[in-house]
């Protein structure tokens, strides 16, 4: 299984980025997908998640109304559209996959079976 995150970069505060996570080696439509982030010196934290069908989405309070998670099961890809970026959004962003069918706790990193390598997002003030 491979989760390849991309789309990170350096952006000014107020700007936008779109992260992508391409999955391979699994039946993508069977997996709930999540995005987490980790800033230097901080623990990894939940950002957003989407159910296997795309019918349910979940967001951390800190990103609600600014970030949008979506997925394209035909392309085996999950996206994170990030608008109105703030310096505190600076972190490495990781995508993760949870095999659906059991209990799903989208905000809990332990729910996820597979993790990508991360992509750096830096927001300058």
Structure-token pair, residue 123: 């927001």
Please give the chain's pLDDT, 125 residues, in tens. Answer: 999 999 999 999 999 999 999 999 999 999 999 999 999 999 999 999 999 999 999 999 999 999 999 999 999 999 999 999 999 999 999 999 999 877 889 999 999 999 999 999 999 99
Report pLDDT for 117.
94
Per the CB < 8 A criterion, the answer to whether 85 and 65 are in contact is no
Do the beta carbons of residue 79 and residue 93 sit within 8 Å? Answer: no
How far apart, in whole angstroms, are the C-alpha atoms of residue 20 and residue 43?
22
């Amino acid at each position: 299984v491979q989760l390849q995150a991309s789309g990170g970069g350096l952006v000014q505060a107020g700007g936008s980025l779109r992260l992508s996570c391409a999955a391979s080696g699994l039946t993508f439509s069977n997996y709930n997908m999540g995005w987490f982030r980790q800033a230097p010196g901080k623990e990894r934290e939940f950002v957003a998640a989407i159910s296997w069908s795309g019918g349910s989405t979940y967001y951390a309070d800190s990103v609600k109304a600014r970030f949008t998670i979506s997925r394209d099961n035909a392309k085996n890809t999950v996206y994170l559209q990030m608008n109105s970026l703030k310096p505190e959004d600076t972190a490495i962003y990781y995508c993760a996959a949870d095999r659906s069918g059991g209990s799903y706790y989208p905000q809990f990193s332990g729910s996820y079976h597979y993790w990508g390598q991360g992509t750096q997002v830096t927001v300058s003030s």
